[in-house]
Structures are given as C-alpha cells and as structure tokens.
C-alpha cells in the first residue's frame, strides 16, 4: 500500500497513529542524519521527512542552526529517484527556506528538475525554486520561468504563474517583462491556468487604468470559460466602476450577463457585486435580488448563508427591495445553520411587518 | 476604501486545517501572516473554532471576522478559512477539493488512523490545492494525479498478488455499497 504500512513490520513502532503521537524535536532531527547515508533509503527518509514537516505544522520552531543543518542534510536526498521522497524534499525546502541559511545551494538541483522530463517534478520544483529565489537570481532563471508559463502542462503553467505572482512584491520589474507569456496562458483551456493568468495580468497592470480597461474588455468579450477567471473579471470590472462612477454601461451589461452564468459561484459573485456597487439603482437591483432569493432555498448551507448575508446588506440600504423575499427568509429562521437563521431574522427585522410574526 | 466588494486578488485562502475529534491539530497551513502572526494566535483561533463547530453540523460559520467552512467525517474535521469579503462558494470549492482528494488518497477511509498512515501524500495534496493562499487546483482528480499515489506508480505486472487482490476487494466493496 504505502511506505508507512510496510514499515510496521521492520520497526517496533505501533500503528501509523503511534508514529506521530509523541514526537520529540531533538530525536527527529537526530534521525535526519540518516539522510547522509548512501544509497538513500527512500522509505525511511520519506518517513523522517514527514515527521519533520509534521512537527513544523504542529508549530515547533527550529533554530537557525537546526534548520540549516536539516536543510543541508535534506539536499543529499536529491540523489534519490523516488517520486514521493523528491516531492517531500520540495516541501521541506519551502518550509525551511524562511529559517535556514544559504538555501540557494539547491538552486541548480531545482533548476535541473524544473527543466527535466518528469512533469510531476517540474511544477513542484518551480514552486520550491521561487520560494528561495531573490531578484538577483531571478534573472538567471527568467528564461525557464517564461517557458514554464506557456508550458502545455497545466500544472507547470499554473506553478509558473502563481510563483510569479508571489514574486511580484520583491521583483515586480522583472515579472512585468513576462506579460506576453501570461497573455498566452490566459487563452488556455484549463480553468485554473486561465484564472491564474488573468490574476497575474491584473496584478502587473493594477496601477495603469487604461491597461486594466483593455484587459477587462478583451476577456469579457471572449466569454471566458473558467468560473474562477470570470469571478476575477467581475471583481476587476467592479473596481473600474467604483473608481469612475459615470462611465458607460458595458460593465453593467457584463454583470447582468453573469447572473445567467452556468456556475453558481459566478452568479453569486455577480449578484454580490451588483448589490454592493454604490451606483446600483432599484432597476439593476431587482434581477440580483431574485437570484439571491432562489439561492435561499438551496440545499447547500454555504449558498444559503452567502445569499442571506448579501440580502441582509441590501436590507440595510433598501428594505423595500428585499420585501419580496420575506417568505423565503421566514423559512430560514428555523435553518439548521445558526448563522443563516440569525442573518434571516436580522434581515426580517428590517423588512418584515406584523403579519409575519404569528407565522 | 470601505468596499464590501471582493478584492480582485488571487489570494483567497487564509488557512487550511485538519483536526481530530479532540480538537488537536493534525495538519495545518496558514497563508496570512497579518491575521495569524504566530502559532499562538493560530492555536487560540483553532480552539474556539473547534468548540463552535464540533457539535453543529452545518458547514459554514463566521468567526473573528473570518468565514470558516468545514466538513467532518468519523474523527476528522476539515476547515478552510477566508476573509469576510470572500466569495463563500470559492472557499467551498477548495474545501470540497481538499476533502475529496484526501478521501481518494485514503481510499475512502477518511479517519485519523489512515490519515496518519498516509500523512506524506496528504501533505503533498494540501500543497497542490493551495499555494501561499492562491487556489492552485480545485479538482480533486487532478490533485490526486499530481501527488502520484504510490500504487498507481507500479505497473500491474510488478504489483504483488496481495496488492492486486486488495485493490480488487476495495472495488468490489464499493460497488456493493453504492
């Protein structure tokens, strides 16, 4: 089945549960010396690495010295060809990169993995590499990053885009040079790649209003397939509308068309946007409210919560617009989710009348 | 800006936690240093989150200005946190992806013991779902593909008889339970 189970026989540890029940930092770091042995024993090393990561997740703090020693021991594991072990090493690099010193020592190993043949390594290697890179080193891997962004494997492309976004804060001017690649990725068929690409393009052009307008009009006319990306576009369009109250109604039409989208995520995003825009009048409000009204009777608690939370906002400003939903809201008073019930009651206090009290 | 509008940013997820039924943290990732500067705040938050959700089986709750979505099974609790301005359905897709990936990795035995036996692969899966607060993948099948489960790596010819029988048994069991 997997590494842990097979180890039951040759270790006197109890079951899998016992393995992690009482770990002690010093002992585990001692065990990490095993990383230096050749040939690497993938099963044992994966287990030790898992223990280290588990301790870090529990909130154990490693000192600089400890972290650096562990990190350097970990670099020895690059000799192994075991997929899970290699991937765990990437995780370890990411976790320790903030504490250990001289982490750039793994740059060449990671660069080799990100340009290698194994897709399963490439995406994860890119993300690990970008967690240890600074702007001076970014120049040297720029070529590979651009290639990764337009790679045909979605996981590699996403890894490139997301890592670029993380690096925006520290090396924005280098990332700005990659917009052509990001634009190409934005035409991808993969839902998430498209979302990441549009997110990166927006982050790069945030300050340039004209460029943002272009970005939105380009992708709204293309009818983007990815629900995530569509939500992103709705958010950007709203930002444009808020900054410039008297612009034309193209974005308004876009929002209303999103109310008829296939995906609930997008419909809710659009309804929420329309409700919260300062410029929304009663006429624009009514289709959004009726969509939210439908969501009130959804079997998904999350969707009911989202709908009633948004209706609550409308009721604060325009109680009359929500009156039509009173019956649906009354049904939610006895909802199994307490947050939903509470929100329904407070909304009704704004919109209800005496007639609903005895029901 | 006081905007209640969703911020156009890819940074959507504030945290992911898996706890056991005593409220002990098994796995966790926090992506927002502002909201949770240190382990101490995380633990305090987790404690109150667990108290509020352990008996209420309702999927979503607001706590300390964060939206928390959760799901539980046997003795495990899965949580996703996001800001109050976030689209709840986006967070829900992350939660479902996390739960379904873990469920596939543990071959539908979503419970603490099997989780601890497969801790390494579950860690990898969490890393594939969310990168620094950005949703990296929302489809559980893709996640499981990307973490490369060990048994799938072994071609049928090289698997031991016991392994083949085991997977056949599992499949039969599930076909009967459907």
Q: Determine how many CB atoms are found less than 10 A away from the CB of residue A341.
A: 17
Decide if A5 touches B, using CB distance below 8 A: yes
Q: How far is CA A95 from CA A260, B132, B148, in A?
A: 43, 11, 21
Residues of A in contact with B61 (CB under 8 A): 337, 339
Mean pLDDT of chain A: 87
User: For A18-71, how does the pLDDT look when each residue is reduced to its tens digit (9 = 90+)?
Assistant: 567 778 888 998 888 889 888 889 899 999 999 999 999 888 888 999 999 999
pLDDT band at A158 (very low <50, low <70, confident <90, very high): very high
B20, B47, B76, B120: which to substitute to probe chain A, counting the most A Cβ within 10 Å? B120
- Number of domains forming the structure of chain B: 1
- Provide the 8-state DSSP code for B73: E
Question: Is residue B163 one of the residues assigned to a domain?
Answer: no
> Does residue A159 have a pLDDT over 90?
yes
Instruction: Report helix, strand or coil for A318.
Output: coil
In a domain, B115, yes or no: yes
Q: Which of B32-46, B73-87, B146-160 has the lowest mean pLDDT?
A: B146-160
Whether B136 is in a domain gets the answer yes
pLDDT for the residue numbered A228: 95
- Residue B89 has its nearest CB partner, among A87, A196, A264, at A264
How far, in Å, CA of A330 to CA of A352, rounded? 9
Is residue B131 a part of any domain in this protein? yes
- B105 lies in a domain? yes
**% of chain A with per-residue pLDDT over 70:** 91
pLDDT tens, position by position, A213-222: 999 989 888 7
Question: What residues 315-344 of chain A have any CB closer than 8 A to a CB of chain B?
Answer: 336-340
Total-model pTM: 0.88
Q: Which of A156, A132, A84 is closest to B137 using CA atoms?
A: A156
Q: Does A239 touch chain B (CB under 8 A)?
A: yes
CA-based nearest residue to A77, from A116, A117, A50: A50
What integer pLDDT is reported at residue B112 of this predicted model? 92
Whether residue B36 lies inside any domain: the answer is yes
Record: contact A50-B166, CB cut-off 8 A: no
| B159 inside domain | no
Tell me what pLDDT residue B153 has: 46
- Residue B153, domain member (yes or no): no
CA distances from A268 to A55, A252, A293, B7 (A): 39, 15, 11, 15
What DSSP designation does A33 have? G
CA A140 to chain centre: 27
- Note the pLDDT tens digit of each residue in A92-123: 999 999 888 889 899 999 999 999 988 788 99
pLDDT, tens digit, 9 for 90 and up, residues A181-236: 999 999 999 999 999 999 999 999 998 989 999 999 898 887 778 999 999 999 99
CATH number for the domain that contains residue B103: 3.30.450.60
Q: How far apart are CA A272 and CA A257, in angstroms?
A: 14
Sign of CA dihedral B113, B123, A199, A183: negative
What domain range includes position B54?
9-147
Q: Is A103 within 8 Å of A71 (Cβ atoms)?
A: yes
Per-residue CA distances from B83 to A305, B6, B34, B89, B91 (Å) = 15, 10, 12, 13, 10
A121-131 confidence digits (pLDDT tens): 899 999 999 99
Q: How confident is the model at residue B150 (pLDDT cuts 50, 70, 90)?
A: low
- Encode pLDDT of A260-275 as tens digits: 999 999 999 999 999 9
pLDDT of the residue at B148: 65
Rounded to a whole number of angstroms, the distance from the CA of A6 to the nearest CA of chain B is: 10
Residue A7 has a pLDDT of 44
């Amino acid at each position: 089945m997997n590494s842990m189970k097979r180890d039951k026989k040759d270790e006197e540890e109890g079951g899998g549960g016992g393995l992690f029940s009482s770990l002690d930092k010093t002992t585990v770091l001692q065990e990490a010396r095993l990383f230096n042995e050749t040939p690497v024993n993938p099963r044992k090393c994966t287990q030790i690495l898992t223990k280290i990561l588990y301790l870090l997740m529990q909130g154990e703090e490693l000192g600089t010295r400890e972290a650096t020693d562990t990190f350097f021991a970990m670099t020895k594991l690059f000799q192994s060809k075991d997929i899970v072990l290699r991937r765990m090493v990437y995780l370890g690099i990411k976790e320790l990169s903030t504490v250990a010193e001289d982490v750039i020592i793994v740059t060449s190993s990671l660069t080799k993995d990100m340009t290698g043949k194994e897709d399963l390594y490439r995406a994860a290697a890119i993300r690990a590499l970008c967690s240890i890179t600074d702007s001076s080193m970014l120049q040297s891997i720029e070529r590979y990053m651009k290639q990764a962004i337009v790679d045909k494997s979605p996981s590699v492309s996403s890894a490139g885009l997301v890592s670029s976004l993380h690096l925006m804060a520290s090396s924005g001017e280098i990332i700005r040079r990659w917009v052509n690649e990001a634009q190409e990725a934005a035409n991808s068929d993969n839902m998430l790649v498209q979302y990441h690409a549009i997110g990166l393009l927006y982050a790069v052009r945030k300050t340039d209003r004209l460029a943002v307008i272009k970005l939105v009009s380009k992708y709204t006319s293309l009818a983007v397939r990815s629900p995530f990306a569509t939500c992103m576009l709705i958010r950007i369009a709203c930002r444009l509308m808020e900054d410039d109250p008297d612009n034309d109604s193209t974005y308004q039409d876009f929002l209303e068309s999103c109310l008829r989208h296939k995906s609930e995520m997008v419909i809710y995003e659009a309804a929420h946007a329309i409700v919260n825009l300062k410029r929304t009048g009663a006429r624009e409000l009514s289709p959004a409210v009726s969509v939210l009204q439908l969501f009130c009777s959804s079997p998904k608690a999350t969707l009911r919560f989202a709908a009633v939370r948004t209706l609550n906002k409308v009721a604060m400003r325009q109680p009359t617009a929500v009156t039509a939903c009173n019956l649906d809201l009354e049904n939610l008073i006895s909802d199994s989710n307490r947050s939903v019930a509470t929100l329904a009651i407070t909304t009704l206090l704004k919109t209800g009348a005496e007639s609903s009290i005895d029901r | 800006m006081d905007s209640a509008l969703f911020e156009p940013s890819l940074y959507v997820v504030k945290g992911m936690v898996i706890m056991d039924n005593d409220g002990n943290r098994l796995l966790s990732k926090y992506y927002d240093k502002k909201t949770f500067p240190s382990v101490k705040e995380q633990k305090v938050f987790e404690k109150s989150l667990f108290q509020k959700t352990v008996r209420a089986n309702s999927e979503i709750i607001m706590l300390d200005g964060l939206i928390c979505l959760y799901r539980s099974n046997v003795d495990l609790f899965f949580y996703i946190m996001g800001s109050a301005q976030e689209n709840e359905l986006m967070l829900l897709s992350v939660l479902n992806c996390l739960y379904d990936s873990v469920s596939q990795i543990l071959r539908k035995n979503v419970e603490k013991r099997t989780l601890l036996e497969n801790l390494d692969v579950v860690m990898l899966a969490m890393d594939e779902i969310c990168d620094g607060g950005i949703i990296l993948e929302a489809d559980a099948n893709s996640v499981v593909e990307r973490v490369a489960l060990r048994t799938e790596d072994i071609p049928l010819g090289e698997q031991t008889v016991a392994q083949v029988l085991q997977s056949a048994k599992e499949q039969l069991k599930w076909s009967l339970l459907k």
